[in-house]
Structure 1
């Protein structure tokens, strides 16, 4: 068999694998549809790479033989690698590779499965075999050459393929007719362009700032474009709490926030979830506290989710890339701290006399812990230091290859922290927050953990196991002295990622396959008479930090918060908005919608450009005065 035939068969097999995978997938990417963009454009790009490879082979000469040998595997390796990565992402994550996925490339430990390793090994073996085949066949000159028609076809395919890259920008009237971003290779190029260039300042953003300055537009967030620091304010402006005081309410109050990893509100029966017995302990806690509904995550994933809630802003950078340059143990904390351009809840409470602590499941040098230190927590407990709280070695989660403690260990540590604080007799109030790893996407509950019903859905298993772990802490808390002097808040860093097990578990008419969803917010506050429920009216987790300060009746604090307290009675302008870098979602009474930019209405675009303005000021270090941040 000639080299040309081998190449043709290989590229046909790549295209067949692509179509076959999409046919058998029961959970497809949310933006996927069968049409020209998902059938013809992939065929064109496969034909382009096949033609490029065969053309390189045909152009070989005695002088260029070794150069051709080196170049020949490149088109095959590039195309097959991209298709393997995109198909793997569709199978495991039910989506194409997105800018958010590129933000979180350091989290690949959660998706490195046996089948992924096997696919990589197969491709490496094939490339090696093809290289040897080409080497053996290289000296032959009696193979048939490409005809003029074949070269013409190759040229036509090249023109069609290169033209498809820019086609969508000229197709605004029928945006779904030609979507090269839905083809594996051109889609990855499109994603990379957004990832690297999608945050640049735009002319529309500048125009919005000018219109706000002239008083022609009321922006969704308060800012003054004429000021040196447009988003900086001297106070929250929240006003008095609308709740009656409880006379025996203790002061000063401790604050504990539990950030559950990737936890949508619809998982809980309290929020209308369809699994009455999935989270019985959280449901029981909700019966004794205030349940906030209509409350959504405003960003994702974990890095943005934690930073965004603790600073009430939209972090531009996501994933570990911003933080991995600072070693969690040996790096200069001031370097990391000074890189943070806005003011965190921990920093504000520290200045009010609080001791701030974060319990993280990760190793000490994990970039997430570096970020938490930059958020100015006095102490970040990690896999290495949690034994200090628990008085001995701690078990690691068996599903996390790079090391992390179990959810149960995190909550045991939180209990020990509160007990030690109670026993110390100190008057210094405590601000503690936790994050767990056991509910992370793509993993199952531990083999010896609690499984839900028959255990065939990994997502339901891990959420059920988490409920058991947090339930032990909640049972302790409600019967402890801390219940009388501590505000306890249960929420999430972001919604559940819509991987296939989550989509299967949560599928219902109101569910949309986005990384934006209602998240729980359940508040126990012993010093005020809270209502049983509170409707957030589509507000987002931007409101968390200002709401906590409002509960503590702290108002006169300089800040650059985008959110407002849930309790101040202010109007929720334009609904809500979630943003992951250059990806934007509108949140309103109809649910969540992915936005497409210029095709959206004027008010929506004002929201988008306001967020981009916030991004740009963050890049310029113009969110808050540096001396106020560090003091």
Structure 2
């Protein structure tokens, strides 16, 4: 009885911590309204906890082997709740599958988080206390001691059983509370088990493809030749390059592309004036370039973002559960990607990242996609900034990355044998959950970590831009600034950018899809200052760049098209599509629609369901090595 009472106290503490993190809609002004909404929203959470207590109480009252099983289960339960509390504390939602895929970045959660360490310590003490009390009071079966707990479970659960069976209206107070806080009716431990299952299993794999699904896919610009072994392959188009040449029009130009980590368009003063002076160097860069508007990420996170843009694909594999665990098998899949095509056109291709080789499989993936050389942070720092040590535990800082890039460019500035070249750059400093390192530059008072990392990245980019403007490259090199994907909705980012007085034209939605930057500097073409992508996505990156360069290939398996080819999107008005894991989205002028299948509602419900199935089929083609021959 005492152990059950103590466990209930622990649950009360956990619930108080959890509720303190919630965002309450404006209509919940009093404790009565809040309590009623919380009961309606979180009764599955209470039911899960009571079920666990009943199971554990009986296991710990049994014989030795079952009691040992009970101890292990107690530890797992508390570990599971701890994971969900930490995830909610840091990101405002329970742990999503994408977070597990990026578990190699767990160190990012543990940097500069005294409150987080305190929380872990408190939960650890609670676990120790629960184990002690359950051991002390739980050895002998006491059937009468269980009556009060069973009674509470019945009183809470039984009246709500009809509600469990009914489909509740999204307009109810409970649903509004859940939606406002990015929560579902699935309680924490059940949600964690579901997330682990989704990550380890193949997401929506093997769904049947039929003509209705293919018809919807075709409306959104996706080619599929049913009956062929490689159904995504289509004949290459040969439209003339867009935009007139100017000056000498040196061709082929060098190309530098910044695939900035987790960077939304709303982050920069190029697209938004919410935070004056946040990104002055990017503003200066953009004044010499073409700014592409209404351009969104098509997938997430980094592995899919880079793979998907370079190969114009919605890739199946992310990090953990993908490239980290299946690298030995993945090279058997063949892709046609930008580096290989550029090499055929005479380019030397390279990619440089901020991460140390031991922490990531990005180098293996990038070599698989066709790069001639991949500079991991170890080599990049050692070769171009000799004597310096990585400032971050598992990576170099953004300033170190950009200074090393400048050193690389300076070392080959007069070496014509390296021309033309393509180099991709991936930084880590703007990753969610990070603040600036010791060589960083904060924004304003330095209290918001996301604003700090964005401003710091701009300062590091300024190092490159100042060198570039004075170098020979200014006259013969294209520079593109974009992102691997949008910024994740961790708490500092939401606090900074989810604001009602924002001057950015699209309201912020707490999902992993957002408008991202695409800014193109080219001294050899007469570019407009702005170009409207009409809600297209980054799956179009490689076809767009190839069209821009005037590089043609006989056939390709690309799922995207050139933004500059009028038959696609700009005239027909297709909507953008984003997809990763088990989530699918449609993007239009009204906003971002979709997510997990249970959120496929409204006028796009049928299209979302069809596109979800189509992406599942594409993933199956990738597993079967039927993307490219």
TM-score (norm 2): 0.86
Q: Is 1:350 paired with 2:348?
A: no
CA contact (8 A) 1:52 1:75 kept: no
In 1, Cα distance between equivalents of 2:612 and 2:410: 45
The correspondence for 1:207, drawn from 185, 207, 210, is 210
CA deviations 1:585-628 (Å, max 9, x no partner) are 22100122334535443333333332222112111111111xxx
The correspondence for 1:418, drawn from 387, 401, 409, is 409
Q: Which runs of 5+ in 2 are unaligned?
A: 27-35, 176-182, 501-506
Q: Counterpart of 2:484?
A: 493
CA deviations 1:167-189 (Å, max 9, x no partner) are 68x73876987886442122223
CA contact (8 A) 1:389 1:416 kept: no
Change (3 A) 1:506 1:175: closer
Q: Which runs of 5+ in 1 are unaligned?
A: 27-32, 328-334, 626-631
**The residue matched to 1:270 in structure 2 has which SS?**
coil
Q: Counterpart of 1:587?
A: 587
In the TM superposition, residue 150 of structure 1 has moved relative to its aligned partner by: 5.8
CA contact (8 A) 1:360 1:383 kept: yes
CA contact (8 A) 1:209 1:225 kept: no
Q: Counterpart of 2:55?
A: 52
Change (3 A) 1:502 1:128: closer
Q: Counterpart of 2:109?
A: 111
Q: Is 1:79 paired with 2:72?
A: no
The correspondence for 2:463, drawn from 472, 476, 487, is 472
The correspondence for 1:453, drawn from 425, 434, 444, is 444
The correspondence for 2:43, drawn from 15, 36, 40, is 40
CA contact (8 A) 1:258 1:435 kept: yes
**The residue matched to 1:556 in structure 2 has which SS?**
coil
Q: Is 1:360 paired with 2:356?
A: no
Question: Aligned ranges for residues 589-628 of structure 1 at < 5 Å?
Answer: 589-597=589-597, 599=601, 600-625=604-629
Q: Counterpart of 1:69?
A: 67
Q: Counterpart of 1:374?
A: 368
CA deviations 1:56-91 (Å, max 9, x no partner) are 34x53xxx2x23431333453333322222121111
Q: Is 1:261 paired with 2:265?
A: no
Name whichever of 386-395 and 41-50 sits farther off.
386-395
Task: Provide the aligned length of Structure 1 versus Structure 2.
Answer: 596
Q: Counterpart of 1:231?
A: 232
CA deviations 1:542-589 (Å, max 9, x no partner) are 111111111211012532111111111123253101112111122100
CA deviations 1:113-135 (Å, max 9, x no partner) are 44444444444444344444444
In the TM superposition, residue 305 of structure 1 has moved relative to its aligned partner by: 0.9
Q: Counterpart of 2:33?
A: none
In the TM superposition, residue 491 of structure 1 has moved relative to its aligned partner by: 0.7
In 2, Cα distance between equivalents of 1:370 and 1:289: 33
Q: Counterpart of 1:546?
A: 543
CA deviations 1:140-170 (Å, max 9, x no partner) are 67x6734668657668989999x89x968x7
CA contact (8 A) 1:181 1:190 kept: no
Question: Aligned ranges for residues 143-222 of structure 1 at < 5 Å?
Answer: 145-146=144-145, 171=167, 181-197=185-201, 199-201=203-205, 203=207, 205-208=208-211, 212=215, 218=219, 220-222=221-223
Name whichever of 450-459 and 128-137 sits farther off.
128-137
Question: Aligned ranges for residues 514-529 of structure 1 at < 5 Å?
Answer: 514-529=511-526
CA contact (8 A) 2:214 2:224 kept: no
CA contact (8 A) 2:220 2:574 kept: no
In 2, Cα distance between equivalents of 1:492 and 1:344: 18
**The residue matched to 1:607 in structure 2 has which SS?**
helix
**The residue matched to 1:15 in structure 2 has which SS?**
helix
In the TM superposition, residue 427 of structure 1 has moved relative to its aligned partner by: 6.4
In 2, Cα distance between equivalents of 1:324 and 1:147: 46
CA contact (8 A) 1:38 1:182 kept: no
**The residue matched to 2:401 in structure 1 has which SS?**
helix
**The residue matched to 2:77 in structure 1 has which SS?**
helix
**The residue matched to 1:563 in structure 2 has which SS?**
coil
The correspondence for 2:434, drawn from 416, 424, 443, is 443
Name whichever of 555-564 and 293-302 sits farther off.
555-564
Change (3 A) 1:256 1:34: farther
In the TM superposition, residue 341 of structure 1 has moved relative to its aligned partner by: 3.5
In 2, Cα distance between equivalents of 1:289 and 1:497: 27
In the TM superposition, residue 296 of structure 1 has moved relative to its aligned partner by: 0.7
CA deviations 1:327-359 (Å, max 9, x no partner) are 9xxxxxxx5772443222112112222111111
CA contact (8 A) 1:99 1:195 kept: yes
**The residue matched to 2:584 in structure 1 has which SS?**
strand
CA contact (8 A) 1:309 1:542 kept: yes
**The residue matched to 1:463 in structure 2 has which SS?**
helix
CA deviations 1:377-407 (Å, max 9, x no partner) are 111112221145425123423xx33x21111
CA contact (8 A) 2:535 2:575 kept: yes
Aligned residues: CA RMSD: 3.2
In 2, Cα distance between equivalents of 1:370 and 1:109: 22
Change (3 A) 1:69 1:271: same
The correspondence for 2:379, drawn from 382, 385, 409, is 385
**The residue matched to 2:266 in structure 1 has which SS?**
helix
CA contact (8 A) 1:291 1:532 kept: yes
In 2, Cα distance between equivalents of 1:364 and 1:148: 57
CA contact (8 A) 2:323 2:361 kept: yes
CA contact (8 A) 2:295 2:518 kept: yes
Change (3 A) 1:420 1:194: same
Change (3 A) 1:140 1:267: closer
Change (3 A) 1:623 1:175: farther
